[in-house]
Amino acid sequence: MPRLSGIPHRRRIGVVLATATVVLVSEKLARSDDFERSISALAEASYSHLRVAHACRPVLGEARYYEARVAVENALRAAGLPMHLAVSSAETMVSEARVSASGEPREELTNCPVEFVRTKAVINRLREQIDAFSRLNPR
């Protein structure tokens, strides 16, 4: 905090308000960075979840695969993409997951349910963080 002695009263108030504004803006920017990191992490976690669901389709079934695809679309929408771009981007991720899964040896299918639940839990945790941030910092 700057030294205020010797500064007229009105100017002191201005200095205090300016300092408080800088502190508040700095905190908001830091929270904004945290929000952006959470959105990126959510998109990455959703893609990982999609890859697991795709690789484990024989065990988990089509419903879980489509659930994972919707999670990707929702993550992209949470990042601010319009619906049509989120859907087309999710389709691109689905294609990448297919190519990625075809080039890798198949995971042991007995671990599929555990891995699916684990990746889903990561998505849920990140989604809660983003929702909490949105409640505390309305746009």
> Which pLDDT does position 101 carry in this prediction?
66
pLDDT tens digit sequence for 85-126:
888 888 888 888 777 766 555 656 778 899 999 999 999 998
Q: How many CA atoms lie within 13 A of 35 on its CB side?
A: 19
Mean pLDDT, residues 74-86 taken together: 80
Give the other-Cβ count within 10 Å of 93's Cβ: 21
Better-scored residue on pLDDT, 109 or 10? 109
- Measured between alpha carbons, how far is 87 from 76 in angstroms, rounded to an integer? 8
> Which pLDDT does position 11 carry in this prediction?
47
For residue 14, is pLDDT > 50?
no
109-118 burial string, b = 16+ CB within 10 Å, else e? eeebeebbee
Q: Is the pTM of this model over 0.75?
A: no
> Which pLDDT does position 63 carry in this prediction?
92
For residue 2, is pLDDT > 70?
no
